[in-house]
Structure 1
Amino acid sequence: MSHSHQQLGYHSQASASAALDPSDTDSMAGYEREGEGETHRPSLTLSRWLLHKRLLSDYATLAVAGAITLVTNFAFKPFERPIDAAVLADVDLRHPLKQNIVPTWALGLTSFAAPLLINAVAQAAIAQSVSAATVFKRTFRFALSLSLTLLLTVITTNMIKKSVGRFRPDFLDRCKWSIVTMACTGDPAVVREGRVSFPSGHSSFAFAGSTLLALWTARMLNLYSRPNGFQGALFVRRRTAQRVSLESGQSENRNHRGDGGAFEDSFSKQPRGLSRAGRFYVLLLSFVPMWAAAYIAITRLQQFVHHPTDVISGALLGACIALVVYSTQFW
């Protein structure tokens, strides 16, 4: 066997391994795309991975975003619109003050804890050919992206809320207007909370988390695959082994075609016009978290704490922020 053939066989094997590298089809393309620790740096332990300088930068960014969230939530007072005769006569502001149908803690569970749990379970269920450390890393990086999505949503929502100062539909019940003092006599904190109707924070927060989860679910279940292109992270586990001939320097791979492996063959063998058939269930599963967010938004109308335009704008705001984060971290 010649020395040149040995070198050629080595490079072919290395190229094949790189092509099958799970990091190339990792669901978090924004991190370490050029080399996952477990593949290119086998000595990199999980603790060292968690303290990688690129992740440290993300930790710092999240910390800054968290600080800005606290500032926008507690340091700034809402813009105080004057209470004149038109406001006092507005029937849309005379609804009774009610208790939250979906409390804040339930909103946190629905928008953060539930997507994170679903992601972790799905990663563990589909990643049969990768290590537990890889599953943890992908879930952890999803958690970072989800945290950034929710923090950006809260910051943007608070800034708009405090700047606009729109009255809630139950403002007059909160205010308890006195014709003697010509001022509100209700609890100042409750009255102040009645001035931040636009946009709906519950709606934006719920749709931010659910939209990110829905997009991720659609990607993991191969919705956006093409017959000759990327097949989704779900099918990474179906990679086939490469057999390299050192004598000829040729690599043989009977099943692997792109990132989809044998599944890509099945797509290419479909009759014309049916390459995307049979995947309606993916759309159905992807819409489940959106339904949960829609219910949360509707409850804000049921208890007369927001106007319809507040809920619609909040939902669009959260969904748009989730789409931006998704496009940079998962696309």
Structure 2
Amino acid sequence: MSSETTVKSALHRSSPSKSSIKEPEVDEVDDDDMWCNELQQKDLLLPEAEPKKQELSRKYSNLADIAIRLMIVLIFFKLETMPAFKREIHVEELWLYKNPIRPDIVKSGDLLFLVITVPFVLTSVVYAFTKDRRDFRAASWAWTLAVCMNSIPTSLLKITVGRPRPDFFYRCFPDGVMLLNETASALGSALLDFNCTGKPSIINEGRKSFPSGHSSFAFASFGFVTYYVGAKLHAFDARGRGQTWRMCISVIPLIVASLVAVSRTCDYHHHWQDVTVGSLIGLFSGYISYRQYYPSIFASNAGKPYVRWPNLKQSETDSIREPGSEACSSLLGKQTSKWC
């Protein structure tokens, strides 16, 4: 009996009392913390599923970009065949349109070849040195967009404004004999009602002086080349200031475009106002197209293309470097960062 009492007392001493048992401390979970945790868990799952969706989106986006460019080209060729507005000519301004007919100093076919070839060759050479496929793709999208975007306003203004070219008189009357009827305008000045004897297609082309297509296309393409080269050489940001050779190389394309534009006044195909406005249209088209794919040329990360699909794994060739190419990588703006 005494032994049984001893065992019970021992068990009583060894068993913890309810008051002595401590409940495990549980941290209070805030609703915001729970929401953040759920977001983090979703983010952990995204890298596995999201790339496939982004890859599909990228393909559809590329197809849409190509389709838009092709559509713009078709619209441009359609606009080129449409008749221009027939603007009245006053007697006192006839001298503006009575210049002799001269052949093109820069032929349209030659300009088209340069507009397409120069940016393509340049971006291909940069790719050969850097092996940066993202940069090559971005540059290709940019300069093709610049040329296409420039074509619509240029051609549309030509047929809606209908300004005669400086050599319009001899397009209208190839033999120099003017046939017309004079009618009084509301302002009291005489209007020249031309009875043109020239070829209709040549006459219609003679009414498309404003703006200059040669000037706009030259500045759209070569303007992009200036932005692209200037950004790669850091000619416009803090890293390239004070280094004249960078700036000189960058502005060479603009000098070429200026010569093309000025030539249109020398062969009497355009007035100086046509050349000026055409050049501004080309510069603007080239710049906004460049900015669609690249940061500002004055930014610290100039020359590095935007990342359109950040979560997609880049091809291994994006990081390949040819032997000896490291020296030129920093010069061309290819650096290891989140932009590359």
Shorter-chain TM range is: 0.5 to 0.7
2:109 maps to 1:112: no
Partners of 2:56 and 2:229 in 1: how far apart?
25
> Which 4+ runs in 1 deviate beyond 2 A?
48-51, 82-87, 137-141, 177-182, 222-226, 275-279
Tell me which amino acid in the other structure corresponds to 1:203. Answer: S
Q: 1:316–1:180: structure 2 CA closer, same or farther, 3 Å change rule?
A: closer
Partners of 1:225 and 1:198 in 2: how far apart?
35
Tell me which amino acid in the other structure corresponds to 1:207. Answer: F
Instruction: Name 2:80's counterpart in structure 1.
Output: 73
Partners of 2:73 and 2:237 in 1: how far apart?
36
TM-score normalized with structure 1 length: 0.64
Where in structure 2 are the equivalents of 1:173-184 lying within 5 Å? 173-176=170-173, 178-179=178-179, 183-184=195-196
Tell me which amino acid in the other structure corresponds to 1:116. Answer: F
Paired residue for 1:210, among 200, 222, 242?
A: 222
Q: CA deviation at 1:278?
A: 4.6
Q: 1:277–1:139: structure 2 CA closer, same or farther, 3 Å change rule?
A: closer
- Percent identity, please: 27
**5+ long unaligned stretches in structure 1:** 1-34, 227-274
Partners of 1:277 and 1:142 in 2: how far apart?
24
**5+ long unaligned stretches in structure 2:** 1-46, 182-193, 296-340
For CA contacts below 8 A with separation 6 or more, give which structure has more relative contact order.
1
Q: 1:277–1:183: structure 2 CA closer, same or farther, 3 Å change rule?
A: closer
Cα RMSD over matched residues?
Answer: 2.6
Q: CA deviation at 1:309?
A: 0.8
Is the partner of 1:69 in helix, strand or coil?
helix
Is the partner of 2:292 in helix, strand or coil?
helix
Which of the two has higher C-alpha Rg?
2
Paired residue for 1:298, among 262, 285, 296?
A: 262
Partners of 1:189 and 1:216 in 2: how far apart?
39
Q: 1:123–1:82: structure 2 CA closer, same or farther, 3 Å change rule?
A: same
Partners of 1:49 and 1:110 in 2: how far apart?
35
The answer as to whether partners of 2:179 and 2:196 remain within 8 angstroms in 1 is: no
Is the partner of 2:142 in helix, strand or coil?
helix
What is the aligned residue count?
Answer: 231
The answer as to whether partners of 1:116 and 1:139 remain within 8 angstroms in 2 is: no
C-alpha offsets along residues 213-236 of structure 1, whole Å, 9 cap, x if unaligned?
10011111123445xxxxxxxxxx
Paired residue for 2:246, among 277, 282, 286?
A: 282
Is the partner of 1:52 in helix, strand or coil?
helix
Partners of 2:172 and 2:57 in 1: how far apart?
50
Partners of 1:82 and 1:56 in 2: how far apart?
45
Partners of 1:162 and 1:153 in 2: how far apart?
15
The answer as to whether partners of 1:95 and 1:170 remain within 8 angstroms in 2 is: yes
C-alpha offsets along residues 226-272 of structure 1, whole Å, 9 cap, x if unaligned?
5xxxxxxxxxxxxxxxxxxxxxxxxxxxxxxxxxxxxxxxxxxxxxx
Tell me which amino acid in the other structure corresponds to 1:121. Answer: V
